[in-house]
Structure 1
Amino acid sequence: MITRRPVLAGLALAVLGGRAFAEGIAMEDQLPFGMIGKMKAQPGKRAELIAILGSGTGAMPGCRAYLIAEDAKDADAIWITEIWDDAASHKASLQLPAVRDAIAKGRPLIAAFELSAQTKPISSFIRV
């Protein structure tokens, strides 16, 4: 039995791929821009840092997802996963007043940036 999800995914791929083919656009140009990073808060400041980072992310044009997660094994670490329409949208977000304010408030609470990677998201499903 075929479930609904693979059929819908296949239809979406056919529509997107067909449009790209018809317009002469490489599928790679249609993919969103992603980032994943691990950040260490100053000892005991993780919750405060998460609250600040979350406050500046409510209305960012081009942002499809901005997820902040606590590291399950490190009491001071957080993971941030971002999905954007494109790299330009991410870059532009860094100039938004709310984002600049969150960065300024959060900077003293950050002990280190441990990992950072750019990604090309190809599929997403979020249920909270």
Structure 2
Amino acid sequence: MTFANVGTLGAVPGKRDELVALLTARNTVLHQLGCLAYEVGVNDDEPDTVFVMELWENQQAHQSALALPEIQASNTAARPLLSGAFGGFRFEVVGSPLRD
């Protein structure tokens, strides 16, 4: 069953764009691991917040990806840019009017 992970990442003040650049750097490994979508966004009303929406083939694909060296290296690179404020939710997708 398709798995969604949607959340917010608090950025260190003034580091939001650097965090966005890191999160949006081309990463072909994600698709190979079962990531169907990885969308990064911002809202000027929240200048120190980055919004991330991940869609995975299933929850196991997401968990497996977190253990890989490439993903861990990306997470390590992001840490100095994060304020420690996180939010979000995870859920199993049960359907969509856009696909069968």
Pairwise TM-score range, normalised by the shorter structure: 0.7 to 0.9
Which AA in structure 2 matches 1:32?
T
| Greater relative CO, 1 or 2 (CA 8 Å, sep 6+) | 2
- TM-score normalised by structure 1 residue count: 0.66
Q: Which runs of 5+ in 2 are unaligned?
A: none
Which of 81, 94, 105 is 2:66 aligned to? Answer: 94
Which of 3, 9, 12 is 1:42 aligned to? Answer: 12
Q: CA 1:71–1:58 in structure 2 vs 1: closer, same or farther (change >3 Å)?
A: farther
- Cα RMSD, aligned residues only: 1.8
The runs of 4+ residues in structure 1 deviating greater than 6 Å are none
Instruction: Say whether 1:113 aligns with 2:85.
Output: yes
Give the strand-richer structure, 1 or 2: 2
* C-alpha distance in structure 2 between counterparts of 1:33 and 1:44, whole Å: 32
Q: CA 1:58–1:113 in structure 2 vs 1: closer, same or farther (change >3 Å)?
A: farther
Larger radius of gyration: 1
Matches within 5 A, 1:1-128: 31-55=1-25, 57-60=27-30, 61-121=33-93, 122-123=95-96
Q: Which residue of 2 aligns with 1:8?
A: none
> Identity over the aligned pairs, expressed in percent?
27
How many residues align structurally? 95
- Residues 38-95 of structure 1 deviation map (CA, whole Å, 9 limit, x = unaligned): 1110000011111122237432211000111012311111110010011110011112
Q: Which runs of 5+ in 1 are unaligned?
A: 1-30
* C-alpha distance in structure 2 between counterparts of 1:54 and 1:73, whole Å: 21
- TM-score normalised by structure 2 residue count: 0.83
Q: CA 1:33–1:100 in structure 2 vs 1: closer, same or farther (change >3 Å)?
A: same
